[in-house]
Structure 1
């Protein structure tokens, strides 16, 4: 058994996954404690103060004060990719490793779901289904648009964005991308955000949520969008100002929008987005495949056990590699 103590903190929607991770960890780690609600976490309690690794969901607020209150804490980790609740800068300054579950299966699932959204929006899948279910007369003119030949704009070109570009390459369209890092894919043209928004037929978001990306698509940027474009978001809801998006979609800026993520989840029953006839809305589940979920469990166990044994996470799971020197 590996010595050390791991504290797990889940929430109702992630409880089953965390319980499976807990069971797997108990086969390898001497000390494992699982809090099932955020309110259970007491910074003065022995489980917290004796924790070497803290495994929790990415939206949990791992603030500087919280991290500093555990004298033995050497790492915080999330079973999946998103760590938007973690203060990574503070963790780095405190010498605490941040790791995530950047599973290849999850990357592929989100990329496939993104292309699914693009096609469902372009071909008006729901509209065609509605014709049949409501026994309407088939429209005399086509309602679908081809993906072939379209200009696809990817906002963010990390693992998921680049995978989307790979999947779209055979479709015969033009792919442009905006990213803070250099884009080296020879089949993708790097452009600034204004150019991407104003010239793309399909806009797809693939950036994480941070201070820099919060409401990246605001009133001003949404005014730049080419009229009649498709907007897809399988990244994080906070990247879009939803009030501004509703107004733009209502006023015909977009032919259709397809959203799997929202600023506040679950989406409020009174959200005006629900009333948009040109919106495809799913509850942050479109990319949650059986294969991706299965990959999260052994990856979380691997990350935790490596950290307890004094090793750093593999590069693809290491959110703050600059902490290694500390």
Structure 2
């Protein structure tokens, strides 16, 4: 059984072990696989594992032995699922590995927007506070979360965890799962109600045709003045030009995002010209604990496949 990992560096940059997976077959690990090398590296594989490498139709067509794909992530929009279905190639993903980690990072971004801790720390280390004639040096306004309303778009495991933490801060929680889904949580409201009544809007939805670019000029216009936007889900949920304009006009008070439409970010990305914006390089999921869970669950997925018991399959 030939097992190939296309982008192992993302999950395991060297501080973890692939041992649980190497026990299951002949394992070959590539730290990074450029798009043009995917077909060559998977052509003799029975099983492939990947995080964000793109496995397109052309690569799948050339992989004559490929029977199973185990994602090293929850999302799988970078794999041609339809082509896998035609060829009866099973795909599994890694659910719930990063619930606590990503929820924690959500509030790291939100608290930085509200409290600007780094700017004020820099003022201390630079000497600005030492030589100030003021007791305290508030460089930017501070914003209290207690009593505010957070609107959570995408109310799966991570979204619900964010809601739990928000309530501990004294916030009211509104949630949106989609207009065509039956209401099963007390917090659930329509998208329009959420937009109009939230002080903070946090994105935790999968990227689908229905919610692509859900944050745009039209939806922003329905939001409160001075709203805060957080996105740790997918860059494609936001129209970046519209976010920049709303930040620069002051309609949106501030934003913290860990994902953008094209990654890594390009030097001409419009968001680099936005005010009051924090951008992190897609790291919300990368605690050691979360990455270890990815490896453990992936090993269980593969073992289940070998034994004819499919686990966490999406097709």
TM bucket normalised to smaller: 0.7 to 0.9
CA distance in 2, matches of 1:41, 1:256: 39
Report the CA distance between 1:275 and its aligned residue: 4.0
Match of 1:28 in 2: 24
Spell out, residue by residue over 1:57-97, the C-alpha distance to the aligned partner (whole angstroms, 9 max, x if none): 2x333334433443443321211222220233443344322
- Choose from 75, 79, 89 the match for 1:86: 79
Q: What SS does structure 2 have at the residue aligned with 1:196? A: helix
Q: Which moved more, 1:124-133 or 1:82-91?
A: 124-133
Q: Is the 8 A contact 2:244 2:273 kept in 1?
A: no
Aligned partners of 1:183, 1:131: CA distance in 2, in Å?
48
> Separation in 2 of the partners of 1:153 and 1:162?
11
- Correspondence list, 1:16-165, <5 A: 16=13, 20-21=17-18, 23-29=19-25, 31-35=26-30, 36-38=32-34, 39-42=36-39, 48-57=42-51, 59-104=52-97, 106-132=98-124, 133=126, 134-135=128-129, 137=134, 138=136, 143-165=141-163
State the SS of the aligned residue for 1:273.
helix
Q: Which piece of structure 1 moves more, 288-297 or 151-160?
A: 288-297
SS in 2 for 1:149: coil
Q: CA deviation at 1:18?
A: 11
**What is residue 287 of structure 2 aligned with on the other side?**
289
State how far apart, in whole Å, the 2-side matches of 1:26 and 1:11 are.
Answer: 13
Contact 1:80 1:103 in 2 (8 A): no
Alignment of 1:218-237 (within 5 A): 218-237=216-235
Give the distance between the partners of 1:245 and 1:227, measured in 2 at CA: 13
Whole-Å separation in 2 of the counterparts to 1:34 and 1:92: 25
Structure 2 unpaired stretches of 5+: none
Contact 2:39/2:58, CA 8 A, preserved across alignment: no
Is contact 1:84-1:208 (8 Å) kept? Answer: no
Is 1:203 matched up with 2:201?
yes
Tell me which residue corresponds to 1:173: 171
CA distance in structure 1 between the partners assigned to 2:275 and 2:236 by the alignment: 22
- Relative to the length of structure 1, the TM-score reads 0.82
d(CA) in 2 for partners of 1:245, 1:128:
25
Structure 1 CA distance for aligned equivalents of residues 227 and 302 of structure 2: 43
Q: Pick which of 137-146 and 116-125 moved more.
A: 137-146
Tell me, in whole angstroms, the C-alpha distance in 2 between the residues paired with 1:183 and 1:162: 14
Do 1:156 and 1:178's aligned partners in 2 also have CA atoms closer than 8 Å? yes
How many residues are aligned here? Answer: 305
Measured in 1, the distance between the counterparts of 2:80 and 2:167 equals 36
2:16–2:292 contact (8 Å) kept in structure 1: no
| Cα 1:172/1:12, change in 2 over 3 Å | closer
Q: Does 1:9 align with 2:6?
A: yes
> In 2, Cα distance between the equivalents of 1:42 and 1:149?
53
Paired with 2:285 and 2:27, the residues of 1 have a C-alpha distance of 30
8 Å CA contact 2:49, 2:70 repeated in 1: yes
Gapped runs of 5+ residues in structure 1? 321-326
3-state DSSP of counterpart to 1:203: strand
